[in-house]
Structure 1
């Protein structure tokens, strides 16, 4: 008995649906198996939290070792890279992005104090390019902590100073606005959780 074209199509669709369902089941089983082998389980099949924490701690230490060997500095759950050359703000940011990081975002007095210790005029991840006078970090968040030098930001003599730098001052308030094309050192930041 010959099947009609619509019957053949229906059988083909069923075959495809069953095949996709089997593949999904196999993928789910493989994922479960990998998680169990990675994290370990107790005798009742539930994850062993102690083993999970041990594995995560080991991975965190491996990650720290990797970045420290490349010259990054670790502070408060983030890695920081301080450049040895000078580039424009955008070129500096591009360099950070190529390394899976971004220009530093300073969110606390402790982080400001940490960044000041490098004693170089350095680009930070702060700009008002989008809207003049509205300073934002490179991740789009608005500025909360402020460490501007007295009188800054000021777009000095009407210049187009749209990028933030940290100047080499001993004082805690050492930020300055500067033309983005100026050549500066820069500080990249990569959060450990990334």
Structure 2
């Protein structure tokens, strides 16, 4: 066989049976891309989706208003305008349904079910949802849900909690993350800070056997026996 003939056959064989590509790299790349997608926070997805839908909703609404408010036109223009208006109304309806679906999807919620969102945090009020517990048991419940008994850091947060409490039929006492169990008379939040670190507060009715604080009406904090049973409020970042 001549050298030219051998080269031609070699090229034909390569075309028919090309070298097998290593596929693992492609698979890993797809997995990495998928993992990157998963790193998007629920908050980011909700924000982007909501902004997109709201923008479309407002655009459609504006078009509808423009067509409705248009001056008298000839018959052909009116017919065309009527079709455009119907299309605009249909698009507005579709966008409204999409926006409603997004806001109701539990995967897009910033807080778990039964928790309330406020200023970047989720709060759980046990009233009506859980049986009353002792302070330590309440603290354990919060920890099991990646949170802690509430640490109140400013007057706005205090007003928010008080506002929620007023919605209950019986105004409860709430365990919060404040105790002097480590050193009598030295009230500290669960993050280790002094009671007045965030805002001027004081605990009333303090006594040697009352080492845990509960929150009552008017933003007052009262010392109580940690073994008493009452409601509580957990707090965590959303």
Q: For this structure pair, what is the TM-score category when the shorter chain's length is used for normalisation?
A: 0.5 to 0.7
Question: In 1, are the aligned partners of 2:110 and 2:117 still within 8 Å (CA)?
Answer: no
- Please give the per-residue CA displacement for 1:80-125, whole angstroms capped at 9, x wherever unaligned: 1111321110011111111111100000001111111213101000
Q: Matches of 2:37 and 2:175 in 1, distance apart?
A: 44
Q: Could you say what the CA RMSD is over the residues aligned between the two structures, in angstroms?
A: 3.3
How far did 1:57 drift? 3.6
Tell me whether 1:146 sits opposite 2:168 in the alignment. Answer: no
Cα pair 1:105 1:138 within 8 Å, conserved: yes
Tell me the equivalent position of 1:72. Answer: 115
SS of residue paired to 2:185: coil
TM-score normalised by structure 1 residue count:
0.62
Equivalences, count = 146
Unaligned runs of 5+ in 2: 1-28, 50-102, 166-170
Q: How does 1:75-94 map to 2 (within 5 A)?
A: 75-84=118-127, 85-94=131-140
Query: Unmatched 5+ residue regions in structure 1?
Result: 1-28, 41-52
Give the distance between the partners of 1:58 and 1:66, measured in 2 at CA: 18
Which of 1 and 2 has higher RCO (CA within 8 Å, sep 6+)?
A: 1
* 2:146/2:236 contact within 8 Å kept: yes
Corresponding residue number in structure 2 for 1:165: 214
Which one has a bigger Cα radius of gyration? 2
Task: Give the structure with the higher percent helix.
Answer: 2
